[in-house]
Amino acid sequence: MTLNDPIANALSLILNCEKVGKKECLLKNSSKLLVNLLSILRDKGYIGQYNLIKDGPKQYIKLNLVGNINKCGVIKPRFGVKRTGFEKFEKRFLPAKNFGFIIVSTSKGLMTHNEAKEKGFGGKLLAYCY
């Protein structure tokens, strides 16, 4: 079975595992973008450590869950946002001011919308988490 959006599938699986109270989760699709996104979630304290598992040509990600995610998901379509236009999307995707974050793909890599505002970058919105 092929699925079209591996990031959406991964975040959906993580959220479902969180809701039922599992302590770990196995993501079957792996990419550099997904690993960078997971490292942001880990740095912010929403997930625990993760390991990349090689099984021949396939690569899996096994991650530990800490139970801190209330909601996470991808943003479709991938809206482009200028460095001054984040507030509209904060209101749309986050429940309150200074609660959660939006992950943005910029020319300098993935970062949260707060970091992008500080550094003066715009980019494409990928996902949100709170």
Q: Kindly state the DSSP code that residue 51 receives in the 8-state scheme.
A: E
Please, what are the domains in the chain?
A: 6-65 (3.30.1370.30), 75-129 (3.30.1490.10)
Radius of gyration of the chain (CA): 15
**What is the rounded distance in angstroms from the CA atom of residue 35 to the CA atom of residue 48?**
13
Q: What is the mean pLDDT of residues 94-100?
A: 93
**What is the rounded distance in angstroms from the CA atom of residue 33 to the CA atom of residue 5?**
12
pLDDT score recorded for residue 95: 95
Reply yes or no on whether the pLDDT at 115 is more than 60: yes
Amino acid at 52: L
Reply yes or no on whether the pLDDT at 73 is more than 50: yes
As separate numbers, helices (DSSP H) first and strands (DSSP E) second, the chain gives: 4, 8
| pLDDT tens column, 46-57 | 999 999 999 989
